Copies of this chain bind each other. A is one copy, B any other.
């Protein structure tokens, strides 16, 4: 942009309103890349890791949760045990994928009627709702009281159904349940809070940090699931983290496998620096990824660490990256048995 790279806040504010309409996913992904690059540069100029610019470490390393799963409760329990042996203390459990997509043997009617698009998946809502408490019961019994269990609803059921299901799993003491409602259904949190004390994680679908204001001020959820590379980078993520400190809501940055190692490093530097950190979604980088990105955050016994070089600590080998051209991914929907599209 030909500007002074030091003025990160000014550039962020300029970009935020540059298109008049506030930052949707397209602008925001670009802005996140820019913002993360500017913090990386500032760290290098200061000869400090980025977490030092954010106030320094408040913990020695970052506790993470990993993903266990399987097509039966027992398979889930086996998967959990495997990760416990690796030292993980926080494990997310999903039976048959998000919302049990693909786990049912029922043949969906809409496909028989030639409705929908090729590649569309389907979901058996009732099957999913029944399966989750059973999964928690089996895993809790087989894996003991010491392990923290998480689960992601992925917004795919009706709000009142989600509330009912979360109430049922309260006795298994989940660490958090994620995304019980889609963004259109935020007002249902009031009933959820009256009904259960299960901690809730929310926010990976928000585009604009202002979407966090009302639910956080009202303490509707307990863990902030920002997708940092989607919300505009470290600058706005720090503002949401600080809002969380005011209301004792903790961070749990969204860290799926398709976020780049730079993005994961951005998470990790914030995680080390904010008091109200909660948990981090773990990632283990493949050898190919590490070949492209040197200096990836590392995992050890359930904790993530960053290297201690200036900036974010991750560099890109562009020559290596050229080996992996972008490929087009197919588009698909999840539908109910009658063909109705389900909103994630």
Asked if A52 is at the interface of the complex by the 8 Å CB criterion, the answer is yes
Quick one: which of B3, B56, B170, B248 contacts A159, CB cutoff 8 A?
Answer: B248
Within the complex, the shortest CB–CB distance from A202 to chain B, in Å, comes to 13
Number of interface residues of A (CB under 8 A): 106
CA distance A63 to B109 in the complex (A): 10
Q: Which among A24, A54, A167 has the greatest number of chain B C-beta atoms within 10 A?
A: A24
B338 touches A60 (CB 8 A): yes
Within the complex, the shortest CB–CB distance from A248 to chain B, in Å, comes to 5
CA distance A79 to B30 in the complex (A): 43
Asked if A195 is at the interface of the complex by the 8 Å CB criterion, the answer is yes
Q: Please, which residues of chain B bring their CB within 8 A of the CB of A21?
A: 24-25, 205, 207, 230
Interface string of A212-225 (1 = CB under 8 A from B): 01100101001000
Taking CB atoms and an 8 Å cut-off, the chain A residues in 207-254 that contact chain B are 207, 210, 213-214, 217, 219, 222, 230, 235, 238-239, 242-243, 245-248, 250
Asked if A266 is at the interface of the complex by the 8 Å CB criterion, the answer is no
Q: Please, which residues of chain B bring their CB within 8 A of the CB of A55?
A: 7-9, 12, 235
CA distance A117 to B10 in the complex (A): 10
Q: Please, which residues of chain B bring their CB within 8 A of the CB of A4?
A: 56
